[in-house]
Structure 1
């Protein structure tokens, strides 16, 4: 009888322990599922916000890739014309994105005005490249024109939040600064008067627009 009672107690204890661990396991499983759901929701929210941000960010990356694919010749005027024409393409696409999805009147109007002017400059720059083809030489000096864009991409906040307007103002300001810095590098090497004059004009225009964009960002903090 004692043995039966002893065995009954152990059976009861084992059953209780089994039920306890089963419950713990279920709770743990539910906790993991809840955590996974939270992570999924957070990830989804992050992706949606990053997706908005990345639309213009992607355009910047595409523009940087296109500039890296430009075949330099070592001729400062030809290389600048080629690089700036490509650089303009990034600004045109971002302006079109702002015009399509932006809501701020000032920024949308700026976005509407920029592409026609920059397309005209692109055409002149590309015509110069076509009419001044030369054999490839030492590109060490002209390669320095790429550095401002590389520095901008390295220092960029790839997780920026905010609206399309904020993305446009912030990224276009940085894009303009890289263009301004590229002009400065070019002017120290410039030879062709017409491209030198165009470069100075581009720098003056982008400095003005950058000031307007920076002023907007100060008035509209995120």
Structure 2
């Protein structure tokens, strides 16, 4: 567990929020400490999401079911897939409802990948675009035949101070989103408090 006094960091967070159109409550307490999961657990959760994405989006002729299921079994990923998410693996490959909902898993994956050195997390409610998704799941993550432990062995992870700062930033942005959902003007113009706000909500590394 790491404790950080965010008095100075909150000033920078306030600047970022103002520049991007988010107004959070001035009385909002700081996130001063977090309990971070072990690195291997973070890596396994990231790759559990990758397995779900591959199942839903990749044609089975290009990637057979067995390859994905073996990837899950060989890396002990079952414990990192929620009961609700297991339903993806029970649906037909390419199921339209699954395709429509899997995009939220991209947002779950992004902060986990950021922890291992993927692209910076932008203070935005925009969903991940196709190019970023391809770079994340096809290029950055472990390949389907690889070991996750070997993949993470050369990754430079974020410091706990960086993580606390990022968590506090999105905590403040989420506060602004919640206020906007109640009818207040606390988010950027043309920002949908439900749709775009959901993207902010999903970016949590803990």
**TM-score (structure 2 length as normaliser):** 0.28
Q: Which has the higher contact order (CA 8 A, sep 6+)?
A: 2
Q: Which has the larger radius of gyration?
A: 1
**TM-score (structure 1 length as normaliser):** 0.26
